Structures are given as structure tokens and as C-alpha cells.
Amino acid sequence: MYDAIIIGAGASGIFAAIEAKSKKNNLKILILERSNSMLSKVKLSGGGRCNITNATFDPHELAKNYPRGSKELLSAFNKFQPRDMIKWLEEKNVSLKIDENNKVFPKSDSSNTLIECFLKELELKKIEIRFNQNIKNILKDNEFFEILFENQESIFTKKVVLATGSSSSGLKLAQNLGHSIEPFIPSLFSFKIKKNDILKLSGISLKNVKVSIKNTKFSQIGSILITHEGFSGPAIINLSSFAAKYLFENNYLSTLFINWLNISQEEIYQILLKAKNDYPNKLLLKINPFNFPNNLNHYFINSYSNIFSHIIKNVTNKNLFRLSEKLSSDEYQIISKSQNKGEFVSCGGVNLKEVNFKDMQSKICKNLYLTGELLNIDGITGGYNLQNAWTTGFIAGYFL
């Protein structure tokens, strides 16, 4: 008979186990992992650098970065938030650094540093992990849970933490214990677009661009990267997160609007008129009033209409107006998505109304705790998804 069994040796399960044993050293706990390794997503995270969390310390500001789960996490962040995670790691001698976007990484730029820290903690606290575990079902009588394996063996425990991430087998276990589920769909991806000359400019990135999905309220401001098949970069990937459900329901066929300068069309037009006034005998291509990278400047001015290869005093205001329209609401057809290699997460999971965020306990099944990506919570890119795992794992562990 165990006090608690944690299912899933990922970020939230491992953190829950460590916290539980830190609080109550005599707790008899066990982690059951389906695969032959632990923390495999943490290892891959941030392209191997591991963007551990985001140094946004105001819970209200922090919660805004979760398209699903922001309300529920707000109270949870009062118990354990990025500042606590940073402190926790620094106490374990993990040196950290914070980049200009508040992303927190190990100073070593390697997820292995974090994994080694967790391994040491697991060893110190003598936490047992069993790998290659095929759980068939979890049964509950009044007091205890019976974990039933495919080979017909079973073990008993007083409490269970489900920390199975975005695996469908984990969802099934939650469902069998009475929970309702929002189906998993992808979030945090790049866009593939219909063939277009802009694709020849792959590799160019721009800051402070506004991107939005036509006929929706979804929009984001930030950096954008032109790729060989479409668009990527933080603004696009975050847009995919807020619009994840809409894009899925529309089979990833939508229209993307880009305001390349994130200012109004009228302001762009006025800048073009001023350029005409200040440098009447120069080519618009040479003036480059918006300081675009050369190839992009060329794309907008030449490929748009060769009239712009004339000196600017010979360009009609009507054409300058048309250019301002293009720069403020450039249109591209999204035809599908492609996976973002740096960070990837699913939206969907256990219905949040069925979980008490004070202790991460199920409202449906007493002594069942649910953490991490298994819940219908996901954040934009920037360390928010791992923070969800740390926060919910910590709270569950604290109350085991």
C-alpha cells in the first residue's frame, strides 16, 4: 500500500514527487512511467536549451499568457509562480539567465543541467521510479485506488496523481475515473501559406509586426520570421495558440493579415508622402523609408508594382496610398500548419471545472490529483507551459 502513486515521470509528475517528499519525508510514494526514460520533453525543450519559465512575476500579467487556463492558474500562481521556481533552482545551485523577452534558461544552455538537478533530488529523497509500466486501468473503491497493469498485476495506493501530459492513454485513465475531456488539438505551430514570392525571402525576420486572422478577434504583435513555406516567429506561434481551436475547426485554411509596421494605414501613407516631399528625385526603392531589410524592401516596392522603380515625384499619391494599404493589411492564404521545433504543446485535456486548484484535487474523484498538460491548460511560447507543470505539480505535491 502506497501513500501516493504518481503516474508520469515528466515535468509535473517529478516535481510533485520531489515536493511531496520535501514536505513529508516518510511518505511512501512511487512514480510509474510508461516509457523507458523520464523528463523526455524537458530534455527536448527549447531546442535542448530548456526555457524553464518566464520571469513575469505579477500573477495577473503571467496568467494572460495562457489562452486556456488563465483564470484557474491565477490563484495557483499565488502559491507557486516563476519567482518561486527560480528561487528553488538557485537553492539547488542551478545558475540561470534571463533573456530580453524574460525567458529563463539554465546558464549552461542545456536542459541536462535541469535534469541532473532533478535526478539528484530524486536520489536524495529516495524516490522510486518504475519504467516501462503499462497501466490498464485505475479502479477506486471507497478508500483506495487499485492500479491495474496489462499483465494483470496490481498495486494499491491511498492517493493518485495523474501527470501524463498530452498522452491519450492518460486521458483515458482520467475519463475512466469520471472526468470529462476536451479533445487534444495542436497549439504553438507555424503557418504554411499558398505559393507566393515572399517565400523567396526565407530567413528574413522583422520585429514589432501585427498579425491577425481575418474575420476573427485573434491578433498578436511581435517578431515574425519568413520561412521557405510560410511564416513563423513568436508573433505567429502565439497567434496559433490563441486561434488554435478556430484554425483546427477551419482545417487550417484561413487568411492571415500582416501589418508590417504595426501602425495605421494613414500613418504609413503620411510617411510615404513625406518621403516624396523630402527626396522627390530619388527612387522609392533607394529611400527605403521604413528601413526594411533590402530584399523585403525590393519585394514590396518592385514586385508590388513596377511603377515604384520611377523616381518618387513621378509616383502618384494613389499608388503611394495603395502601397500603404499593402503594408498595413498584407494578405496571405494559410493552407496548413507546420510544427514549431522549439516548443510544442497541445490544447485540450481534463475539464478545468472538475479540478480544485487549491490543491489540484479532482472534484469528481476524492484523492485523485491532476497536473500539467493533462489539464485543459496551455500557454503561449516563452516558458509558460513548463511553469504550468511546475505550479500544478508543486501544489499537488504539497497536498499529498
Ligand X SMILES: Cc1cc2nc3c(=O)[nH]c(=O)nc-3n(C[C@H](O)[C@H](O)[C@H](O)COP(=O)(O)OP(=O)(O)OC[C@H]3O[C@@H](n4cnc5c(N)ncnc54)[C@H](O)[C@@H]3O)c2cc1C
Considering the complex, state which of residue 12 and residue 220 has its C-beta at the smaller distance from ligand X: 12
Candidates 139-147, 167-175, 225-233, 255-263: pick the segment binding ligand X (CB under 6 A): 167-175
Distance CA 137, CA 149 (A): 7
- Collapsed DSSP state (helix, strand, coil) of residue 278: helix
261 belongs to the binding site for ligand X (CB under 6 A): no
Stretch that binds ligand X, among 207-215, 303-311, 341-349, 356-364 (CB under 6 A): 341-349
CB-CB contact of 212 with 246 (8 Å): no
CB 312 within 8 A of CB 275: yes
Shortest distance (Å) from residue 177 CB to ligand X: 13
- Judged by CB, which is closer to ligand X: 220, or 387? 387
Binding ligand X by CB under 6 A: which of 4, 13, 244, 391? 13
Report the run of H or E that residue 244 belongs to, with start and end: helix 244-249
212 belongs to the binding site for ligand X (CB under 6 A): no
Q: If binding is defined by CB under 6 A, does position 386 make contact with ligand X?
A: yes
At 80 the three-state DSSP class reads: coil
- Where residue 370 falls (left for φ over 0; alpha for ψ -120 to 50; beta otherwise) is beta
Q: Report which of 5, 399, 370, 398 is spatially closest to residue 163, judged by C-alpha positions.
A: 370
Residue closer to ligand X (CB basis): 227 or 297 = 227
Choosing from 4, 46, 236, 337, the residue that interacts with ligand X (CB under 6 A) is: 46
Q: Which among 113-121, 164-172, 292-300, 362-370 is the span making contact with ligand X, rule CB under 6 A?
A: 164-172
Closest contact distance (angstroms) between CB of 394 and ligand X is 12
What does each C-alpha distance from 51 to 111, 240, 341, 389 come to in angstroms? Answer: 8, 19, 13, 13
Q: Specify the residue, 8 or 348, whose C-beta has the smaller distance to ligand X.
A: 8
What separation in angstroms does the CA of 31 have from each of 231, 312, 383, 397? 41, 70, 25, 12
Classify each residue of 76-99 as buried b or exposed e, where b means 16 or more C-beta atoms within 10 Å of its C-beta: bbebbbbebbbebbeeeebebeee
Q: State the cell numbers at 260.
A: 508590417
Q: Which of 385, 395, 396, 400 binds ligand X (CB under 6 A)?
A: 385
51 near ligand X, rule: CB under 6 A: yes
Among 67, 69, 106, 170, binds ligand X (CB under 6 A): 170
What is the residue whose three cell numbers read 477506486?
Answer: 140
Q: How many residues bind ligand X (CB under 6 A)?
A: 38
Smaller CB distance to ligand X: residue 43 or 310?
43
Spell out, one character per residue from 214 to 243, where the chain touches ligand X: x when CB under 6 A holds, - when not. Answer: ------------------------------
Q: Are 312 and 286 in contact (CB under 8 A)?
A: no
Write the CA distances from 101 to 35, 48, 127, integer angstroms: 34, 18, 36
Q: Given the complex with ligand X, which of 69 and 372 has the nearer CB atom?
A: 372
By the rule CB under 6 A, 45 interacts with ligand X: yes
Candidate segments 7-15, 115-123, 139-147, 219-227, binder of ligand X by CB under 6 A: 7-15
Contact in structure between 18 and 121 (CB atoms under 8 Å)? yes
Which residue's CB is nearer to ligand X, number 132 or number 316? 132
- Residue number of the CB closest to ligand X reads 10
Q: What are the angstrom distances between the C-alpha of 308 and each of 37, 129, 298, 319?
A: 59, 67, 10, 9
Per-residue contact string for residues 110-139; x = within reach of ligand X by CB under 6 A: -----------------------x-x----
**How far is Cα 192 from Cα 188, in angstroms, rounded to an integer?**
13
**Residues near ligand X, by CB under 6 A:** 7-13, 32-35, 40-42, 44-46, 50-51, 133, 135, 163-165, 167, 169-170, 343-345, 372-374, 383-386, 389
